[in-house]
Each structure stands twice: as structure tokens, then as C-alpha cells.
Amino acid sequence: MANLLYLSDRNFSSEVLQSAQPTLVDFYADWCGPCRAIAPIIEEIAHELAGRLKVAKLDVDQNQEIALQYGVQSIPTLILFKNGREVERWIGYMSKSKLLSKIEPHLR
């Protein structure tokens, strides 16, 4: 999906920490069932909030450095960054409405 960015250890800083927009990062793995279940919700949010929220995915198996740096031990882990800092963290599957209710306050 065009509004979804795929991150790596190399572009994480420039795309997330230096982003002018709040950025939601989905730490996931292809083999993870709950990660696959939440993926369509992440894609919908990326589309619906385009221009207000940057949405990105980071494969923890291929980018272990960033996952370790942020202490990601369970997946999916969703971290919301704003002004280069982590402002919220959610672990596990959640509904679209619940996730949106947690993101919206940070977009004002």
C-alpha cells in the first residue's frame, strides 16, 4: 500500500526520529499470527490518516538492532513516535476503533 512505509535499521532514524509527522511503527514478523491479523487494520489507518500520521512497519527478524534498542520483546508491538520520541506503546492485537482512539489525541 502506498501510504505504508517499510523500515530498516538503516532508515529508521531518518524516517521516524526525524519525521515532522507523528509516526506509528508496527514491529512485526511474517510468521506471527496476531501480526498478520492486525496488518489490514494498520493498512487502513495508514490510508485514512495519510497526511496526518506516517505509518511504518519494521520486520523484527530482519532489523533486530532497532527492535533491541526499543526493547521489543513481544509482537506485534506498535509504538507511536512524536518529535523523535516514543509517546505511546501498545502490545498485541487490538480493534481498529480502539487503536484509532489511542492515536487520535496525538494528532492534535
Contacts of 88 (CB under 8 A, 6+ apart): 79, 80, 102, 103, 106
59-91 pLDDT, tens digit per residue, is: 999 999 999 999 999 999 999 999 999 999 999
How far is it between the farthest Cα atoms of the chain? 35
pLDDT of residue 1: 47
6-64 pLDDT, tens digit per residue, is: 999 999 999 999 999 999 999 999 999 999 999 999 999 999 999 999 999 999 999 99
> How much is the pTM?
0.95
Q: Is 92 a catalytic residue?
A: no
Domains of the chain: 4-99 (3.40.30.10)
Active-site option among 4, 32, 39, 91 = 32
Position of cell 520483546? Answer: 73
Active-site option among 35, 38, 72, 103 = 35
Q: Is 65 a catalytic residue?
A: no
pLDDT band for position 2 (50/70/90)? low
Is the Cβ–Cβ distance between 24 and 55 less than 8 Å?
yes
DSSP 8-state class, residue 15:
I
